[in-house]
Structure 1
Amino acid sequence: MEARRVVVVGYGMAGARLAEEIRDRDPDGVRVALTVVGAEPHPAYNRVLLSNVLAGGVDVDAVRLHEPDWGHRSGVDLRIGTAAVRVDRAARVVELADGQALPYDALVLATGSVPRLPPVPGLFGPDGGLSDGVAVFRDLDDCLRILAAARPGAPVAVLGGGLLGLEAARGLVGRGNLVTVVHPLGHPMERQLDPGAGRVLADALGRTGVEFRFGRSARGYTPGVGLELDDGTAVPAELLVVATGVRPEAGLARACGLAVEQGIVVDDALRTTDPRIHALGDCAQHRGTVNGLVQPAWEQATVLAALLTGADPGIRYRGTPVVTRLKARGIDLTSLGEVHVEPDEPGVEVLRVEDPTRGRYAKIVLRDNLVVGAVLLGVPDAAATVTQLFDQGMPAPDDRLALLLGRALVTGPTGSTAPADLPGTTLVCRCNTVRKEQLVTAWNTGARAVGALALATRATTGCGTCLDVVTAIADWLATRKPAPDLAS
């Protein structure tokens, strides 16, 4: 039986995970002859952790998902440093920038997203590229460019107060820059935060050294000087980092006639309007939603790998409840579900506590005694409990104040509050959908340390926020009982 030719266009986090999942199900390439095309010249890396690179917390090697020889070792025809430029659907061929043509039986578009740049005078040079002193913050090369340009003590402006803008600002402050964030609305991260949480977050970041100019837009940029704002004031900046949002990269799909709205339209089998072509990750629009986060992309990769290999023809992707976390040193922020809900909505209970002096804010939205939304800033214990309730669809504890303050613990069947005594179905690592029972199984089959558990299950390798829980489970497993003799 001849293997089906599957071509994946995009070697970012979604494309790389899909390739891994395919090879996990078909390690010898009997079912799938896999080719992966990546425009960037680097091996796949974890884009979620680039803010840590910017802040100096980790080096570039630490964010790599694959070693340079991964393709050869995995039996994958890996083409990096070249972009796909055209899809010929009639001939079922993908044409590359280097002139090569790749035939396919099934094609997967994992083209991600690209920065959305505002039409600010001076932002672009005569050649149409970004002016000197301007950088976006999206990929590894962007991160390296910023690091090379951000001299300690120099003023830096960040245009955009969303998730990426704040992560860039906090990282650059940590490197000794004088950072001002310019944002057109009245508080940061307005999609994920209500105004109260936004004010507390801005104050907390302000104490680290980040300055804000809210309600202002850029009127122009002068290289080496800075930004002129719409009120006539100026923000000095040797470097301008633009983080004004992203848009799905759907150019290939649009050019070959696939349905594109916000992103490339896909169904529950992640098929586009051409059943031989699939899409996943940031470029895909599923049930009217485009997700720009890693967890949905990796869950989609699991589903699509099972379909492409024939391992589970009945599997479908039904969507992912989204949890957003800000990855900024000294700031613990979680936002999930329906956050822009107020108590006057029928059938809704809204709990809120605000402690701006200590940088703490908690808002929890309940419907029918279930958590349907929350904003949790500076309260990591509450964030862990509320996220678990949200994931499991479990009823909220009766003691609402304890829940807000992080003192209400979700217990296992024996009433224990120890993390390792929680039900096996407890979701520990959201990015990789790793549950407690998978960690226990990996431990019992030889993964007897946190690093080994990470290799076996991928827990902690996404955003990294589950490290404490995985460590606690590993500690419990190490002392629970003598390890079984694997040789027997």
Structure 2
Amino acid sequence: MRLVVVGNGMAGARLVSEARARDPQMRVTVFGAEACRPYNRVLLSDVLAGGSRPEQVRLLDPSWYAEHDVEAVLGTEVARIDRETRHVLTADGRREPYDLLVLATGSEAVVPPVPGAGRAVPFRTLADCERIVAAAGRSRGAAVVGGGLLGVEAARGLAGRGLPVTLLHLAGHLMDRQLDAEAGDVLGETLAGLGVTTRTGVSATAVEPGGVRLACGELVEADLVVLACGVRPVTGLAAAAGLEVRRGVVVDDELRTDDPSIFAIGECAEHDGTVYGLVAPAWEQAAVAAEVITGGKARYRGSRLVTRLKAKSVELAAMGETQLDEEHAEVVRFSHRARGTYRKLVIRDGRLVGAILLGESDAVGTLTQLFDRGGPVPGDRAGLLFPGLSAAPVAGSPVLMPDAAEVCRCNSVTKGQIRACWEAGARDVAGVAAATRATTGCGTCRDAVEGIVGWLCDQEGVPV
């Protein structure tokens, strides 16, 4: 069996490792357009902020490919798929045969069609990130165009480097896809305290040498302009091959396209009308596709999205239908804007269908589990938002947390798996990560994993 994977990002690299773990004999070739080995795109905001170095966000060691008999062809773009002969053709003329093909081509940054856009730097790849960091060192001020998740992370990262930053957003409030208006306003106020000036309801019409020109004629001065205007799935290769493409490459529950020998996963794939832009769904899809490819039976039924903002001094989690109001659902809301705190529960038919948690909160783990499982919401709504006020024990405590509780959502790692890993000899987060992949996604579960490992060591009197 010859497996070819086009795309060596977070989805493609995970598919390769999942397939190899299931079948050590399959011939595997992966093509990556980027010359570097795969890296964790989720953590680029840490690199931008100076909290991590580029080499710290790499996913696979260079020796991994040789040790696992995987041919990695990096810095090479696949230009065409020949479905009749089952070959892929690269831009430099190579023809590679396949029995099964996986498209993991990801997405690309949207660059608005405005004059001077080429003067700005998109925030998408590691190379983009390195360009931004280099430019920040010689700039007096920066402007970020786009106030979605990536734009907020970019603005916070640049402000952390000491630059005055102006964040420009077309919609009426920040992260309007994930947050309601009040949460967006509270987020803007939090960012203001960290050195970011937010301008909402504004449209950029040009990027000029001195900054960004707005539709009203005003020039927002900046030496460095970063574009975070969203992404679009990379589907040109699939479309040229005659595969069904809507917004993404259309796949079924096995992640197959309308050609049964070709699969698509990650940000380029469209399942049941949805294109997912987060890492957890991509990795869930990679596991399902790998199981099917190696002869097993698995089905992908979609993912329940939890968005986590990874910016220093800004704690944010948003999930589900956050925009619903009291006319359509039961809404429980708490706001303390002076402290940058906003919490909202959206409950329908006794189930949690949405939530926003902005500001430090110990309720994230419990609410995420309720949202994921779709279980009934306890009658004590205040206790959900403020676990410390409830007379009941805190469910997030390692002592009381059931083994089935999911700790790392990106990799679906439970407390029980961490316990088993610890009993097998892992005594620190690095050991747990190596065995389970916990903490290797968005990284927000690291404190929880440290807490569980520390608790287990304390119980047995074992040094960490």
TM-score by length of 2: 0.96
Q: Which runs of structure 2 are paired with 1:124-143 in the superposition (5 Å)? A: 130-131=118-119, 134-143=120-129
Residue 409 (structure 1) shift: 7.1
Q: CA deviation at 1:233?
A: 0.9
**2:321 is matched with which residue?**
338
Query: 2: CA distance between counterparts of 1:367 and 1:219?
Result: 42
* Counterpart in the other structure of 1:37: 31
2:366–2:396 CA contact under 8 A, matched in 1: no
Aligned 8 A contact 1:39 1:83 in 2 = yes
Residues 283-315 of structure 1: CA deviation (Å, up to 9, x unaligned): 0000000000000000111111111111x2x21
- Kept in 1, the 8 Å contact 2:251–2:270? The answer is yes
1:448 equivalent in alignment to 2:427: yes
Task: Give the secondary-structure state (helix, strand or coil) at the position aligned to 1:241.
Answer: strand
1:260 corresponds to which of 232, 240, 245: 245
Q: Which residue of 2 aligns with 1:274?
A: 259
Deviation at 1:272, TM superposition (A): 0.4
8 Å Cα contact 2:318-2:357 kept in structure 1: yes
Partners of 1:76 and 1:277 lie apart in 2 by 19
Cα deviation digits, residues 110-137 of structure 1 (max 9, x gap): 00000111111121xxxxxx23xx1000
C-alpha distance in 1 between matches for 2:428 and 2:392: 25
Helix, strand or coil: the match of 1:69? helix
Q: Which residue of 2 aligns with 1:242?
A: 227
The structure-2 alpha-carbon separation of the partners of 1:232 and 1:180, relative to structure 1 and needing over 3 Å to count, comes to same
Q: Which residue of 2 aligns with 1:15?
A: 12
Question: Partners in 1 of 2:284 and 2:193 — Cα distance?
Answer: 37
Contact 1:184 1:214 in 2 (8 A): yes
User: Which residue does the alignment assign to 1:305?
Assistant: 290
Give the letter for the 1:375 counterpart: I
In the TM superposition, what whole-angstrom CA distance separates every residue of 1:390-441 from its partner, at most 9, and x where no partner exists? 12333323221222234367989xx976224322211100111111111112
Cα 1:21–1:411, aligned 2, differ >3 Å: closer, same or farther?
farther
Partners of 2:310 and 2:397 in 1: CA distance: 26
Shift of 1:177: 1.1
Report the equivalent of 1:146: 132
Alignment of 1:389 with 2:374, yes or no, is no
How far residue 226 of structure 1 moved from its aligned partner, in angstroms, is 0.9
CA distance in 2, matches of 1:363, 1:456: 36
Aligned twin of 2:338: 357
Alpha-carbon distance change, 82 to 191 in structure 1, aligned in 2, over 3 angstroms: same
Q: Name the counterpart of 1:368.
A: 349
The 3 A distance-change label for structure 1 pair 16 and 288 is same
**In structure 1, what is the equivalent of residue 75 of structure 2?**
81
* C-alpha distance in 2 between matches for 1:409 and 1:34: 53
Residue 480 of structure 1: how far off its partner (Å):
2.9
Listed as ranges, the gaps of 5+ residues in structure 2 are none
What one-letter code is carried by the residue in structure 1 that aligns with 2:385? L
Task: State which of 132, 153, 174 in structure 1 corresponds to 2:160.
Answer: 174
- In structure 1, what is the equivalent of residue 402 of structure 2? 423
Q: Deviations over 1:317-346 (max 9, x none)?
A: 11110000111110000000111111111x
Residue aligned with 2:193, SS: helix
Q: State how many pairs are aligned.
A: 462
Q: Which amino acid counterpart does residue 81 of structure 2 have in structure 1?
A: V
2-structure distance, mates of 1:420, 1:465: 20
Q: Which residue of 2 aligns with 1:155?
A: 141
- Report which stretch shifted further, 256-265 or 437-446: 437-446
Say which of 448, 454, 457 aligns to 1:475.
454
| Structure 1 residue 185, shift from structure 2 partner | 1.1
Matched, 1:114 2:99: no
1:220, 1:338 → 2: CA distance? 34
Match of 2:236 in 1: 251
**Are 1:399 and 1:408, in contact at CA under 8 Å, matched by a contact in 2?**
no
3-state DSSP of counterpart to 1:381:
coil
Alpha-carbon distance in structure 2 between the residues aligned to 1:408 and 1:76: 53
Q: Provide the C-alpha distance between the structure 2 equivalents of 1:278 and 1:411, rounded to a whole number of angstroms.
A: 47
Partners of 1:153 and 1:240 in 2: CA distance = 10
| Conserved? CA contact 1:379–1:406, under 8 Å | no
**In the alignment, what sits opposite 1:486?**
none
| Structure-2 separation of matches of 1:408 and 1:271 | 48
Aligned counterparts of 1:287 and 1:408: Cα–Cα separation in 2: 41
- When residues 410 and 284 of structure 1 are mapped into structure 2, their CA distance, relative to the original with a 3 A threshold, is farther
Residue 201 of structure 2: aligned partner? 215
Q: Which amino acid aligns with 1:221?
A: V
Q: Structure 2 vs 1, CA of residues 416 and 281 (structure 1 numbering), >3 Å: closer, same or farther? A: closer
Counterpart AA for 2:167: V
What is the aligned partner in structure 1 of residue 186 from structure 2?
Answer: 200
